[in-house]
């Protein structure tokens, strides 16, 4: 038989059980959280914002190191470039190397690259992100690019991004 006293006792136990459950749940924030999902935003951020480019500050002009790594450059008329490592050199471990270059192409080779790799105008906010020492040597634009041109210039160990302006190609590469 259900009496008001039984209901009151049952409601009292329900209230106590609810309070215990709330206290138990409140203490759960002290338990280590599950590992967070990987932050995929890093993959789309510009490399310069992930780690800083370090180098000697030497502005180089020899072509052989560039042609060895990036054969699709053809026979350039000249180049200005800088290189170094990413991050803090005091930290042990493998290094990621960078190369920023402004390459003066033969006019017919620049035209061939545009045709062969379906180069189109770059997005309005897209411009070369090179080290400060190379910025005075950048062409004024407008910029043209394509993923196919990036892929053609990229080597397995040196993926890169390339932007064309007239007969000049700006190359930004990272590798190991």
Predicted pLDDT of residue 47: 42
For residue range 53-104, list pLDDT tens digits in order. Answer: 766 678 999 999 999 999 999 999 999 999 988 776 666 666 788 999 999 9
- On whether the CB atoms of residues 109 and 75 are closer than 8 A, the answer is yes
pTM of the predicted model as reported, rounded to 2 decimal places: 0.67
Domain limits of the chain? 52-175
pLDDT tens track for 148-171: 999 999 977 789 999 999 999 999
Alpha helices in 27-162 (DSSP H): 41-44, 47-50, 64-69, 107-116, 147-153
Rounded to whole angstroms, how far apart are CA atoms 139 and 102?
8
What's residue 163's pLDDT?
Answer: 97
- The larger pLDDT score, comparing residue 44 to residue 109, is at 109
């Amino acid at each position: 038989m259900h009496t008001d006293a039984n209901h009151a006792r049952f409601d009292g136990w329900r209230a106590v059980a609810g309070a215990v459950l709330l206290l138990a749940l409140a203490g759960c924030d002290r338990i280590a959280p599950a590992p967070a999902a990987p932050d995929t935003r890093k993959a789309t951020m510009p490399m310069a914002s992930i780690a800083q480019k370090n180098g000697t500050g030497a502005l180089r002009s020899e072509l052989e190191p560039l042609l060895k790594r990036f054969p699709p450059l053809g026979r350039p008329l000249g180049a200005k470039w800088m290189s170094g490592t990413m991050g803090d050199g005091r930290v042990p471990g493998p290094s990621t190397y960078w190369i920023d270059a402004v390459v003066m192409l033969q006019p017919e080779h620049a035209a061939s690259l545009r045709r062969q790799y379906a180069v189109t105008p770059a997005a309005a906010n897209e411009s070369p992100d090179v080290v400060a020492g190379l910025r005075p040597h950048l062409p004024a634009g407008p910029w043209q690019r394509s993923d196919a041109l990036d892929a053609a210039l990229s080597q397995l160990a040196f993926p890169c991004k390339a932007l064309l302006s007239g007969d000049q190609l700006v190359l930004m590469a990272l590798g190991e």
